[in-house]
């Protein structure tokens, strides 16, 4: 009896929901564009918020680049814009310089490359590529965006408080961050930073829970795990990393808040500020580093893995070849996921860590080179002898591979505990992570934007502007970050305000001028992108349903967005997503929705590994057609 009751109410419940669905047809502006629960709209909200944050973070970086290049020159314009508090006499003040560096890092790592990247593409692609109507919980999904938006607003608000934004670096190490009196940025600005991060963590946790649950539970018929596109694998594993690491940051932040506002001594001990001895005793600042880097290191994989997933998809599509080593790609992502949790110590080699422990962290760190290299070689092997189509998305994908290689190589130097004594906290580190997780991840994100723009907005972006954008950004990024390696090897420390105080740093001033000019040109190149992006939303060429002749499921959905993604039934899936240029087929792509019975001429033995019956049918067909072919030959 119970079961019938359940069944009946299920139907009732469905009608209930259905009535609700109809409500969406007469959507108001608020339900459609603001408090939307539709995953496609939420993806666009994440993307545009991420782009705005990226522009702000980029402007911040240009400001501190100006200071680094011309520490003695005054720019009256800066005083006009920033006021005499931050740029007295047209020169950036030291306190503000530190704030610029801190907020640039925080915004780029968390708001742009975590929320802007995962938030956009996980939301857009997980339901569309898996064949689901929406996320597991559309409401939580909406909540996730609005928490992110709140975090962004709070972070921006810290620019408008008396004592300025947080200035302790994006890693906010105590005791500097824990003592409001230590520097002006550790006052209200730091409090706002912490509140903003709590909102952000909540947002990305909710998002990650939703992504995992959707991937594991809501795939369409036929979509088993090994038929999922690599994008989805990457998003899934990224979300798993997030679920396991972000709660650790919560713990760290909570303890820091107690130290700042309640007088506890988790991180504080033996401190003298301005000649005054503080009462706090017995704390351990290294504890913060352990907790922070247990998140912080996985965080860099949260940043790069979605970019790698997007690239896999775009490279395979535009090389018109199956991805090389699909299983190896998945296992290397899993390998990166597992390893990411046991390498955090390599950020702390010089904190007085036991050298034996340092050796352990060194080994685990260097092992990460293996899955990373597997991925790189697979990209190169996929491109090898493909029918390459250099769309802007493809160029950015290739750019990612380039940055991933050149930035990854220096990781091998930095992961070495002995070399790190010399290299830590120098510009070598700055160069390394900006290439391997900064530029590479940004290129992955831009690649995704160019590739899925038609899906998001129903229009195409301008290709020529895309090429200009790519080449200027690609060359600019290398010109900015490559010279920094040499500065770092020379021992120039990061985060220093001016290179004029130390004799050995002065000779690098000319290099700084060069880097700043490169940064300005690369920044101006982004105008081409911004124009292209926003102009095309309204006036771009109308997009066809499948502009890139791609196999994955999202291109079977109509161009016009509708709630539930597909009118009528959700399509079923019969094959993996990388059947490009399959010999014997009349087209160079076979979408996942095409059953093998419709492609008899191109089926291969291994398409039917677990299905002897289908194998027999195929053999029969082959025999028939082989004899026909023979007959044809003989007539000739």
Partner 1 sequence: MDQLPVEDMQSFKARKFLMWLFIISSFMMFAALTSGFIVYTEGNAERGIKVLLPKAFIYSTVIIIISSITMHMAYLSAKKLEFWKQKLYTILTILLGIAFFFSQYSAWMVLTDAGAFFVNYNASQSFIYVFTGAHLLHIFGGILMLLYSLIGKMRNIPQVRNLFRIEVTSLFWHFIDILWIYLYVFLLLNQ
The yes or no reply on residue 205 touching partner 1 (CB under 8 A) is yes
The yes or no reply on residue 212 touching partner 1 (CB under 8 A) is yes
The yes or no reply on residue 171 touching partner 1 (CB under 8 A) is no
CB 413 within 8 A of CB 423: yes
Residues 259-278 that bind partner 1 (CB under 8 A): 262-266
Cβ within 8 Å of residue 493, ≥6 positions away:
425, 426, 427
* Structure-token match 């305000």, residue found: 497
DSSP state of 570: P
Q: Which tokens is 559 given?
A: 């161009």
Q: Which tokens is 244 given?
A: 């396991």
The yes or no reply on residue 22 touching partner 1 (CB under 8 A) is no
The residue range among 215-223, 381-389, 416-424, 486-494 that interacts with partner 1, by the rule CB under 8 A, is: 215-223
The yes or no reply on residue 252 touching partner 1 (CB under 8 A) is yes
The residue range among 158-166, 208-216, 326-334, 497-505 that interacts with partner 1, by the rule CB under 8 A, is: 208-216
Residue in 52, 94, 133, 602 binding partner 1, rule: CB under 8 A: 133
If the CB atoms of residues 302 and 543 are measured against partner 1, the closer one turns out to be 302
The residue range among 27-35, 93-101, 136-144, 593-601 that interacts with partner 1, by the rule CB under 8 A, is: 136-144
* Structure-token match 């709590």, residue found: 198
The residue range among 107-115, 240-248, 372-380, 439-447 that interacts with partner 1, by the rule CB under 8 A, is: 240-248
The yes or no reply on residue 31 touching partner 1 (CB under 8 A) is no
The residue range among 112-120, 216-224, 343-351, 605-613 that interacts with partner 1, by the rule CB under 8 A, is: 216-224
Residue in 87, 130, 195, 248 binding partner 1, rule: CB under 8 A: 248
At 387 the three-state DSSP class reads: coil
CA 211 remoteness from chain centre: 14
C-alpha 223/C-alpha 551 separation (Å) is: 13
CB 372 within 8 A of CB 332: yes
The yes or no reply on residue 24 touching partner 1 (CB under 8 A) is no
Q: How many residues does the chain have?
A: 636
Residues 492-511 that bind partner 1 (CB under 8 A): none
The yes or no reply on residue 397 touching partner 1 (CB under 8 A) is no
C-alpha 291/C-alpha 254 separation (Å) is: 11
If the CB atoms of residues 183 and 253 are measured against partner 1, the closer one turns out to be 253
The residue range among 97-105, 247-255, 270-278, 305-313 that interacts with partner 1, by the rule CB under 8 A, is: 247-255
Report strand pairing: 272-273 vs 276-277: antiparallel
C-alpha 115/C-alpha 293 separation (Å) is: 19
Residues 355-394 that bind partner 1 (CB under 8 A): none
C-alpha 144/C-alpha 201 separation (Å) is: 10
Comparing CA positions, the residue from 420, 324, 335, 421 lying closest to residue 371 is: 335
Residues β-bridged to residue 542: 459
C-alpha 95/C-alpha 199 separation (Å) is: 26
Q: Which tokens is 556 given?
A: 């079977």
* Structure-token match 């954008």, residue found: 469
Residue in 243, 369, 460, 489 binding partner 1, rule: CB under 8 A: 243
If the CB atoms of residues 140 and 369 are measured against partner 1, the closer one turns out to be 140
CB of 19 to partner 1, least distance (A): 12
If the CB atoms of residues 48 and 287 are measured against partner 1, the closer one turns out to be 287
Residue 367 CB neighbours (<10 A): 15
C-alpha 410/C-alpha 412 separation (Å) is: 5
CB 167 within 8 A of CB 186: yes
The yes or no reply on residue 283 touching partner 1 (CB under 8 A) is yes
Residue 466 CB neighbours (<10 A): 22
Residue in 19, 275, 282, 567 binding partner 1, rule: CB under 8 A: 282
The yes or no reply on residue 244 touching partner 1 (CB under 8 A) is yes
Over the window 536 to 575, marking each residue x when it contacts partner 1 by CB under 8 A and - when it does not, the resulting string is ---------------------------------xx-----
Residue in 287, 380, 479, 614 binding partner 1, rule: CB under 8 A: 287
Residue in 110, 294, 379, 450 binding partner 1, rule: CB under 8 A: 294
* Structure-token match 């913060």, residue found: 288
Count Cα neighbours of 234 within 13 Å in the Cβ-side half-sphere.
27
- By rule CB under 8 A, what count of residues binds partner 1? 55
If the CB atoms of residues 38 and 462 are measured against partner 1, the closer one turns out to be 38
Residue in 149, 159, 173, 258 binding partner 1, rule: CB under 8 A: 258
C-alpha 381/C-alpha 578 separation (Å) is: 14
CB of 282 to partner 1, least distance (A): 4
Question: What is the contact surface with partner 1 in residues (CB under 8 A)?
Answer: 1-2, 5-6, 9-14, 17-18, 133, 136-137, 140, 205, 208-210, 212-214, 216-218, 243-248, 250-252, 254-255, 258, 262-266, 280-284, 286-287, 290-291, 294, 569-570
């Amino acid at each position: 009896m119970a079961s019938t009751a359940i069944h009946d109410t299920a139907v009732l419940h469905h009608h209930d929901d259905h009535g609700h669905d109809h409500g969406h047809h007469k959507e108001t502006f608020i339900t459609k564009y603001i408090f939307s629960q539709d995953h496609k709209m939420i993806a666009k909200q994440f993307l545009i918020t991420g782009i705005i944050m990226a522009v702000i973070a980029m402007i911040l970086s240009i400001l501190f680049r100006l200071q680094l290049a011309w520490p003695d020159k005054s720019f009256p314009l800066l005083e006009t814009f920033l006021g005499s508090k931050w740029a007295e006499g047209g020169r950036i003040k030291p306190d503000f310089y530190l704030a610029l560096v801190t907020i640039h890092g925080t915004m780029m790592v968390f708001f742009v490359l975590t929320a802007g990247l995962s938030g956009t593409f996980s939301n857009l692609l997980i339901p569309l590529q898996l064949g689901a109507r929406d996320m597991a919980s559309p409401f939580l999904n909406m909540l996730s965006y609005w928490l992110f938006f709140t975090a962004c607003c709070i972070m921006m608000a810290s620019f408008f408080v008396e004592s300025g934004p947080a200035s302790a670096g994006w890693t906010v190490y105590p005791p500097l961050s824990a003592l409001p009196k230590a520097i002006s940025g550790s006052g209200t600005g730091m409090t706002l930073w912490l509140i903003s991060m709590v909102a952000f963590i909540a947002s990305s946790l909710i998002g990650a829970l939703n992504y995992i649950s959707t991937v594991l539970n809501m795939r369409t018929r036929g979509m088993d795990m090994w038929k999922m596109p690599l994008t989805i694998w990457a998003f899934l594993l990224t979300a798993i990393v997030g679920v396991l690491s972000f709660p650790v940051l919560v713990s760290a932040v909570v303890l820091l808040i107690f130290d700042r506002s309640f007088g506890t001594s988790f991180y504080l001990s033996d401190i003298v500020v301005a000649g005054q001895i503080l009462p706090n005793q017995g704390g351990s600042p290294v504890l913060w580093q352990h907790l922070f880097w247990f998140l912080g290191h996985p965080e860099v994989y949260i940043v790069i893995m979605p970019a790698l997933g997007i690239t896999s998809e775009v490279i395979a599509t535009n090389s018109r070849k199956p991805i090389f080593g699909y299983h190896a790609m998945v296992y290397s992502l899993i390998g990166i996921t597992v390893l990411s949790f046991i390498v955090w110590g390599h950020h702390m080699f010089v904190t007085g860590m036991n050298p034996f422990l340092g050796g352990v962290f060194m080994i685990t760190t260097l092992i990460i080179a293996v899955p990373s290299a597997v991925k790189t070689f697979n990209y190169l092997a996929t491109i090898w002898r493909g029918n390459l189509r250099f769309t802007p998305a493809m160029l950015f994908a290739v750019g990612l591979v380039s940055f991933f290689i050149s930035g990854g190589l220096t990781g091998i130097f930095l992961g070495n505990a002995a070399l790190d004594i010399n290299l830590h906290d120098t510009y070598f580190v700055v160069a390394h992570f900006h290439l391997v997780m900064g530029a590479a991840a940004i290129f992955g994100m831009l690649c995704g934007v160019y590739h899925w723009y038609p899906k998001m907005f129903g229009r195409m972006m301008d290709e020529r502007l895309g090429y200009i954008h790519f080449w200027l950004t690609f060359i600019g990024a290398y010109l900015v970050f490559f010279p920094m390696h040499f500065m770092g090897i020379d021992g120039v420390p990061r985060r220093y305000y001016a290179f004029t105080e130390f004799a050995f740093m002065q000779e690098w001033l000319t290099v700084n001028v060069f880097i700043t000019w490169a940064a300005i040109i690369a920044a101006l190149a982004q105008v081409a992108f911004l124009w292209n992006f926003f102009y095309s939303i309204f006036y771009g060429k109308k997009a066809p349903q499948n502009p890139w002749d791609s196999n994955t499921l999202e291109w079977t959905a109509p161009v016009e967005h509708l709630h539930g993604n597909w009118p009528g039934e959700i399509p079923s899936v019969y094959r993996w997503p990388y059947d490009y240029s399959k010999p014997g087929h009349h087209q160079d792509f076979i979408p996942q929705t095409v059953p093998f019975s419709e492609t008899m001429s191109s089926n291969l033995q291994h398409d039917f590994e677990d299905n002897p019956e289908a194998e027999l049918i195929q053999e029969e067909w082959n025999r028939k057609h082989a004899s026909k072919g023979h007959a044809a030959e003989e007539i000739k």
